């Protein structure tokens, strides 16, 4: 990797690790600015290498969003974004690792959620894999491991920090969300084409914001677009 690219991703790591470390105990969370359809309160609980954002309310039965962090980040870095996602009445199973590109940690988090929360997710919940930057690229790899129904990749890096190992299933819905002021993982010239090449059912979205928008509050325009697809694909 060229020195300039190493510097760029070192900056990502520094910014992402600035979030608070996740507590090992369950705690009730305040609303994080979910979309207009949100109706669930959220409790956060720790697992093995995973943190769960558990909804309460709505139908009482929930599908699962598996989450992978950006390089150097942790689930607490995205606490506002993930709380807002869970408020849409989905169970968020977030890996705690700062290196989520291969999809294994997200696979583990989702499988733990299926077992631990079987009473509220049922025997065959829909699963969508998601993540930011390295985790966004890794969402494709996690989807293949889990045979996921959908992928919501947030500003995915598919060039420097991870590679998409193979195309997802032909019946897996995919959206890649990019931002107009993102200079670290822009759609052009490679990330958008890599996403498209590895999906048969592909949508590409462009929002305002920089690469660090998802770690602030509920994620700005990026978070709004992410929740739009959560509602479209995971909220029954």
Residue 3 has a pLDDT of: 35
pLDDT in tens, 42-57: 999 999 999 999 999 9
For residue 50, list its beta bridge partners.
95
Distances (CA, A) of 197 to 29, 100, 174, 225: 38, 21, 11, 22
The span from the CA of 146 to the CA of 128, in Å, is: 9
Give 203's strand partners.
175
Question: Does residue 54 sit in helix, strand or coil?
Answer: strand
What pLDDT shows up at residue 189? 97
Is the dihedral angle over the CA atoms 32, 154, 17, 48 positive or is it negative? positive
Structure tokens at 144: 């293949």
Angle at 218 between CA 162 and CA 230, to 5 degrees: 70
Structure tokens at 201: 């059912």
CATH 3.40.50.620 fits 40-233, yes or no: no
pLDDT tens readout for residues 174-224: 999 999 999 999 999 999 999 999 999 999 999 999 999 999 999 999 999
**In the numeric block, which tokens belong to residue 210?**
């920089």
CA distances from 154 to 38, 39, 131, 178, 206 (A): 20, 23, 6, 7, 10
Q: How many CB atoms lie within 10 A of CB 120?
A: 16
Q: Is the pLDDT of residue 236 over 90?
A: no
Average pLDDT over residues 124-149: 98
Where in the chain are the domains? 40-233
CA dist., res. 178 & res. 172, Å (int): 19
CA distance 236 to 234: 6
Q: How many CB atoms lie within 10 A of CB 198?
A: 23
Instruction: List 202's β-bridge partners, or say none.
Output: 174
Helices and strands (DSSP H and E) totals, the chain? 7, 9
pLDDT interval class at 38 (50, 70, 90): low
Using alpha carbons, select from 78, 71, 69, 92 the residue that is nearest to residue 19: 78
């Amino acid at each position: 990797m060229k020195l300039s690219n190493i510097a760029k991703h070192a900056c990502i790591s520094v910014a992402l690790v600035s979030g608070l470390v996740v507590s090992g105990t369950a705690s009730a969370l305040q609303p994080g600015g979910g979309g207009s359809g949100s109706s669930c309160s959220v409790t956060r609980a720790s697992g093995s290498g995973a943190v769960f954002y558990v909804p309460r309310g709505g139908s009482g039965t929930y599908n699962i969003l598996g989450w992978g962090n950006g390089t150097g980040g942790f689930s607490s870095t995205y606490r506002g974004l993930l709380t807002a996602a869970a408020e849409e009445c989905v169970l968020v199973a977030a890996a705690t690792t700062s290196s989520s590109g291969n999809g294994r940690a997200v696979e583990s988090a989702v499988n733990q959620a299926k077992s631990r929360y079987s009473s509220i997710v049922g025997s065959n919940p829909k699963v969508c894999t998601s993540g930011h930057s390295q985790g966004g690229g890794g969402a494709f790899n996690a989807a293949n491991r889990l045979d996921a129904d959908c992928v919501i990749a947030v500003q995915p890096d598919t060039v420097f920090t991870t590679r998409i190992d193979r195309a997802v299933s032909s019946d897996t819905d995919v959206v890649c969300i990019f931002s107009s002021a993102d200079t670290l993982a822009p759609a052009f010239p490679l990330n958008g084409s890599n996403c498209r090449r590895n999906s048969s059912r592909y949508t590409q979205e462009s929002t305002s914001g920089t690469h660090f928008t998802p770690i602030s509050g509920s994620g700005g325009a990026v978070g709004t677009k992410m929740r739009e697809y959560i509602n479209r694909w995971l909220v029954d």
